[in-house]
Each structure stands twice: as C-alpha cells, then as structure tokens.
Structure 1
C-alpha cells in the first residue's frame, strides 16, 4: 500500500478487533436496494490512529467483474452494522452504482484514490487538515447498530 499508515489487519500481528466490536470479515455487504454486493474481505487499519479506516469488500461474482478489479474499499463510516443477520449496510451504494465505484488494488491506496472513493459516495474530502476527520471515516456510525 502506498499510504504507509494504512495496513491490512491480517498483516498486523499486534492488532486485533476490539473486544466490544465484532470482527466483520466474512459478513455480507448489502446496498440500499437490499441486494448483496459482496462480503467484507479485510479491514484496513490506520496504524498511527489505531483505527479501522476502510472495509475491503470483495464484490459478489454475480457482477462478473474480472478478478483484478473485484474489490472496493469503503470508508467505515459509510456503512452500518446489522448484528442479527451479520450484514453490513451501505446506504450510498446499490447493485448499479457499485459497478461505477473505483476498484481497489492493494498497492494503490493513494490520496487520489481515497478522494475518488469519497466522491463516488457523494461525499467531499476535508480540504485542509486531517483527511480522516469526516463522518465517512467515523467508526461510531458503523458500530451504532451493534448490540
């Protein structure tokens, strides 16, 4: 990954999901149309802030996307949990819009890519200061549905 503070959770031996939060890897990701878009493949962690910033989503094979473009990154605050069904909901995406979302290639987490991701969700990045100081990167929204 180009952004040196962002790392996959599986690569961080000293990190784990907090005890009071579920490990959502493997959970189904659903769009605003209720359709399954894919599953959470990995968590992308900001090692300096010790926070999950992104969900790495592997898109469902029914979208017929080639294997090199079948992952997207989703800012954690752009989704929410449903513990009962082990689902992650993404109100800003659906089966049509996810096809226009910028694909994620593990070595390409650049600020340009992060900005394109936010814009694909209809959000604007913070122009100055802390890039991650946005509702899109706030895990509080994500875990709100957690019991």
Structure 2
C-alpha cells in the first residue's frame, strides 16, 4: 500500500502519539488464546491515524506456533491435499482486533477471548517489512470469526469497518 493511501500505522511510527493514560501499553506483554496457550508477544499497536485509536495488536508469533504451522503444511503436502503454501520466511506477525482481547493489568497478560490456538496457527501472518491492506484485514477477521460477514461492500469506509464489535473498547 502506498503511503498516501495508508490509514494504519504502528504506534512506534508516530512519535507524537502515545497510549492514553487510562489504557495499558501492552507492548511486550504475553498473549494467550482462549485456553491460555501462548500465541506470542504483543510487539506493537496498529493505530488508525484518522480515527486516532488503536484497532489491532501486532503480535510476534511464538516459535512453537510457527513450527506447528510448518508441520501442518508438510503433512498437507505429503498427503497431497490441495492446499496452497501459506507462509513465507519472515511471516512471523499477525494482527488481532483490539476488541477481541481482554487485558489483565495485574498479570500483564493479554487473552484472546474466543480465539483458539488452531485458529491462530492457521491465520495468515505477515512480514513486518510490509504493510497490509483491507483484504488482509478481512481474511484475518474471517479466520477468527468464520460465521460473521466480512465482505468488501461498504466497509472500505473506516468508520463502518472499525465499528464492528471486534474493534470495541475492552
């Protein structure tokens, strides 16, 4: 995505922005799935600059989860199942909508409310050297919430797209 079209920025790219005093800065905190299995660590926060709010956690995925994904791909290829290769080297981050987690200030752990380990293992990841687009956002949301509708229609408008419950304050 070209810079002129960008609406999402990592918090560390915005020197004049900081986490509001009534919210926790969860960068560096461990993130676990709904069953307390480790997913990784929160590496950064994705901010919609126009809306001036955090919409995603940027998670550096745990090596074990990556290895589990590689084993699944190997098994799939070995069984000649018709599934495309999912990840490239360097694809070690994923995004989680901020409204999909619970933040425990006491333990400094972020927990995905209803997303399990297998879902995270299968969710598309990205390389932090590249930015992602709305199509990637939709694909991630579909992987987390397969029963919900995430179609392209009028959700190109940020106010519409980020008004979903998955982006609500927790």
Structure-1-length-normalised TM-score:
0.86
Q: Across the two proteins, how many residue pairs are aligned to each other?
A: 140
Could you report, residue by residue, the CA deviation over 1:57-89 in whole angstroms, capped at 9, with x for unpaired residues? 011112226751211011111111111110111
- The question of whether the paired residues in 2 share the 8 Å contact of 1:118 and 1:124 is answered with no
SS where residue 23 of structure 2 aligns?
A: coil
Distance 1:111 1:62 in 2: 28
Mark the runs of 5 or more structure 1 residues left unpaired by the alignment: 142-147
Matches within 5 A, 1:18-97: 18-63=20-65, 64=67, 68-97=90-119
SS where residue 99 of structure 2 aligns?
A: helix
Mark the runs of 5 or more structure 2 residues left unpaired by the alignment: 71-87
Higher relative contact order (CA 8 A, sep 6+): 1
Distance 2:104 2:89 in 1: 28
Q: Determine which structure has more spread, i.e. the larger CA radius of gyration.
A: 2
Aligned-pair Cα RMSD in Å: 1.9
> Where do 4+ consecutive residues of structure 1 move more than 4 Å?
none
Higher percent of residues as helix: 2
SS where residue 21 of structure 1 aligns?
A: coil
> How far off is 1:108 after superposition?
3.8
> How far off is 1:124 after superposition?
2.7
Distance 1:11 1:108 in 2: 12
